[in-house]
Amino acid sequence: MTASAVFILDMKGKVIISRNYRGDVPMNCVERFSGHVLEAEANDERPVWLEHGTTYIYIKYNNLYIMAVTQRNSNAAMILLFLYRLVEVFKDYFKELEEESIRDNFVITYELMDEMMDFGYPQVSEPKILRE
């Protein structure tokens, strides 16, 4: 059903901020992501792919990759949608979403990521409700 961890990466694949929700996927899985996405041929690119038992699901926004990993048969549509919602919420709070926005606001970013997802299950994603 769920995501194991969510990462926000820059265009080179370096982690800007991450949140490990379940602790079952090793955090170095990120390295595979960078290799795959940066070096892969354009035609092989897929938003959902599997490597060594770990599934990587990601979207791109401005100069960021927002990526989730899981090792189970999770709900792919739900995770993708969650990533989009995450972007929406960040945009609402920071006005702009790019690398700098995250670095300048990491405290609130952590808080948001904590509220929006618990143990890999999306919880609340409406900015209005989050602000309360």
Partner 1 sequence: MNDSLFIVCAGEIFELKAELNSDKKEKKKEAVKKVIASMTVGKDVSALFPDVVNCMQTDNLELKKLVYLYLMNYAKSQPDMAIMAVNTFVKDCEDPNPLIRALAVRTMGCIRVDKITEYLCEPLRKCLKDEDPYVRKTAAVCVAKLHDINAQLVEDQGFLDTLKDLISDSNPMVVANAVAALSEIAESHPNSNLLDLNPQTINKLLTALNECTEWGQIFILDCLANYTPRDDRESQSICERVTPRLSHANSAVVLSAVKVLMKFMEMLPKDLDYYGTLLKKLAPPLVTLLSAEPELQYVALRNINLIVQRRPEILKHEMKVFFVKYNDPIYVKLEKLDIMIRLASQANIAQVLAELKEYATEVDVDFVRKAVRAIGRCAIKVEQSAERCVSTLLDLIQTKVNYVVQEAIVVIKDIFRKYPNKYESVIATLCENLDSLDEPEARAAMIWIVGEYAERIDNADELLESFLEGFHDESTQVQLQLLTAIVKLFLKKPTETQELVQQVLSLATQDSDNPDLRDRGYIYWRLLSTDPVAAKEVVLAEKPLISEETDLIEPTLLEELICHIGTLASVYHKPPSAFVEGSRGVQHKRLPGSAGSGESVESPDAGSAAGVSEAPPAVIPSQGDLLGDLLNLDLTPPTTTGPPPPSSGMQMGAMDLLGGGLDSLMGAGFGAPPAAMPASFSAPVSGGLDDLFDLGGGVGMPMGAYSPPKTVWLPAMKAKGLEISGTFARRSGVIQMEMTLTNKAMSVMTDFAIQFNRNSFGLSPAGPLQVLTPLSPNQSIEVTLPLNTVGPVMKMEPLNNLQVTQCSFRLNVM
Provide the binding-site residues for partner 1, judged by CB under 8 A: 1-2, 15-17, 21-23, 42-43, 45-48, 50, 53, 55, 57, 59, 70-78, 80-82, 84, 103-107, 110-111, 114, 118-119, 121-126
Cα atoms in the 13 Å half-sphere on the side-chain side of 11: 6
Q: How far is the CB of 65 from partner 1 (least distance, A)?
A: 12
Q: How far is the CB of 11 from partner 1 (least distance, A)?
A: 17
Closest to partner 1 by CB, 11 or 46: 46
Amino acid at 20: N
